[in-house]
Amino acid sequence: MKACALGFPTILLVAATSALAAEPVTPLVTDAPVVLELFTSEGCSSCPPADALLGRLAQRRDLLPLAFHIDYWDYLGWKDLFDSPLATERQYAYGKALDAMVYTPQMVVDGAREAVGSDEAAVALAIDAEKVRPKLKLAVTRDGAGLYSVALPAGEASAGPASVYVALFDHLHETPIGRGENSGRKLSEFNIVRQWRKIGTWAGEAAVFPLDLSASSEAFDACAILVQDGSNGRLRGATAFALRQPGG
């Protein structure tokens, strides 16, 4: 019996395939985190207590807290360093979807409930109410070329397709405020969304989405992926992972 030897091209192909094989990425949160979206501003004197609460909640792995800095407080003399028109648009869309007032600080829990962002008891009640819902388990992988993808399982879809969003965020910034309602203070701000974009839709079938993160994405601390009914409906699933090590 003749031995079957691997030819040189075959060896190269096996090595290349092995090098590019996708490996699972360790998540920062549990499989079914409750998503908290805090709409806040550096120009709002009522917001620092809500920012502090978000920072405490960010220590829990069963939660995925994100801070969206709105821009409608800038007129008071201090332009929020992290503000975004997209954050303001998202908050107003929630106001319409939840038939709720738009204000700061406002916490939206799993896209389904809202509360004053500094009201720890009200936020806890909303979290407990959403924790019992089943969620999609999202799995992130990274291949040998450094490309990230997220896999969504098959599941029961809602009436319309769900949106798949990517958020790049920083864990902490300490910001001295020079003007406006918080003039003279140094604010601690947590899980600040720096980039936000939609990467696709999910209609119930198993699917894999490339995250298309550029090399510049590693300027931020972490990446979150959210699957949400419609564009501002109930959260169906979420995960997050680190883009760089602390102090990197």
Q: pLDDT: is 160 or 26 the higher one?
A: 26
Domain limits, the chain: 23-242
Q: Tell me the torsion sign for CA atoms 209, 212, 218, 224.
A: negative
CB-CB contact of 54 with 36 (8 Å): yes
Task: Report residue 101: phi and psi, to 5°.
Answer: -65, 155
Over residues 214-222, the mean pLDDT reads 87
Choose the weakest-confidence range: 13-22, 102-111, 215-224.
13-22
Choose the weakest-confidence range: 6-10, 37-41, 52-56, 104-108.
6-10
Q: Hey, what are 243's tokens?
A: 């883009």
CATH of region 23-242: 3.40.30.10
pLDDT by residue (tens digit) across 72-95? Answer: 999 888 999 999 999 999 999 999
CB-CB contact of 167 with 224 (8 Å): yes
Residues in the chain, how many?
A: 248
Helix residue spans in the chain (DSSP H): 8-20, 47-57, 85-97, 120-131
Q: Give the pTM.
A: 0.90
Task: Report residue 122: phi and psi, to 5°.
Answer: -65, -40
